Amino acid sequence: MDTADTRQVFKAAAFLVLTVISIPANIFVCYAFLFTLVAERKLMTADIILCHLAFANLVMALNRSIPQTLTAFGYKNLFDDAGCKLTLFCFRIFRGISISLTCLLSTYQAVLVSPATSKLVPFKARIPQYLWHLMASFYILYSAININAALNSFASFPNNTIPPYTYNLQFCFVSYPDQIGFVSGGLANFFTDLLFIVSMTAMSGYILLLLYKHSKKVRSLRISESGQSGARAEVKASRAVVTLVSLYTVFFGVDNFIWLYSLTVVRVAPLLSDVRVFFATIYTSVCPVVVIFTNPRVNSKLKFSKPETLASQTENSKSNV
């Protein structure tokens, strides 16, 4: 087996693993929260964000991981031009939704753990009040940013000649007419992602700082049973959010670094595109796994969870991820 074949097998296996993990895991997270909504007739703000985040990750996996996996196994002509436009548009929108919701989740958790004297306290009521408005604004923002890329998506080119300033996704192409459109579209996505990444990183740093400063206060809360449970739930929630943000920053940091580099070349190598797509979609697999093992409302649906532990966890999951 030559180098090209080995690379193709490795690529197929990598995307297959992501697909096998991400789709069932995200469906399970959505099911767990919807089951809770039906049973309790309400969801906490953090749970709503996580449920929508799982849905966004699921759509990303369906629109990118599956086509990428099939292409790696040798399937060709998966879409026509209309299919390429729709697939790419959905992936890009929900990729943006994923990063913005992760940022919103870290911001809300920072608000929850902030002291009563903090300037963030008013947002504790405002974020739940305007949650759906914020989500709608994310959809509008990423639809506006990515509409041009969707319009420039094609299934193939005459004579199989790939023009300059084209992203080769293997199953579709995103081709720009000139360098200005190629660079401006890429920079718009890059700086939008950078804004959210910087914001969520700052919020996570703030959470860690608060947990460090208030460690003695958290210990004092353990005098009572309710204080002990509440403190544990708050710390677990904060750690879970920081974990998600850290993973997101790493994965999408690599994704955006490669994306920024690709703007400096006329033709983007397929291998480079595959690596970037892998890091852009790996979060769809890791995120639901973190949620399943850190959120009591979700892991209570797992058969191997201990009932007596779940009862106490669920009571104190108000602020937990």
Note the pTM of the prediction, 2 decimals: 0.85
Cβ proximity of 192 and 226 under 8 Å: no
Of 238, 268, 247, 26, the C-alpha closest to 111 is 238
**What own/partner pairs with CB < 8 Å and gap ≥ 24 does 79-84 have?**
79/155, 79/171, 79/172, 80/155, 81/153, 81/154, 81/155, 83/155, 84/153, 84/154, 84/155, 84/171, 84/172, 84/173
- Give the Cα separation of 199 and 218 in Å (integer): 26
Cβ proximity of 248 and 200 under 8 Å: yes
Q: By 3-state DSSP, what share of the chain in percent is helix, strand and coil, each rounded to 5?
A: 80, 5, 20
Residue 87: per-residue pLDDT: 93
Residue 219: per-residue pLDDT: 56
Residue 275: per-residue pLDDT: 82
Residue 149: per-residue pLDDT: 86
User: For residue 276, how far is the Cα from the chain centroid?
Assistant: 15
Residue 214: per-residue pLDDT: 65
Cβ proximity of 18 and 289 under 8 Å: no
Of 107, 278, 92, 290, the C-alpha closest to 185 is 92
- DSSP code of residue 163: P
Ramachandran region, residue 114 (left: φ > 0; alpha: ψ -120 to 50; beta: rest): beta
pLDDT tens for the 321 residues of the chain, in order: 556 667 778 888 888 998 999 999 999 999 999 998 998 888 899 999 999 999 999 999 999 889 988 888 888 888 999 999 999 999 999 999 999 999 999 999 999 888 888 888 888 889 999 999 999 999 999 999 899 888 889 988 887 788 888 888 888 888 888 888 888 888 888 888 889 989 999 998 988 888 877 665 655 544 444 445 555 666 777 888 888 888 888 887 788 788 788 777 767 676 777 788 888 888 899 999 999 988 888 887 776 444 444 444 444 444 445
Stretch (H or E) spanning 297: helix 296-299
Of 32, 14, 29, the C-alpha closest to 288 is 29
Residue 265: per-residue pLDDT: 74
Cβ proximity of 37 and 91 under 8 Å: no
- Give the Cα separation of 180 and 263 in Å (integer): 10
- Give the Cα separation of 156 and 81 in Å (integer): 8
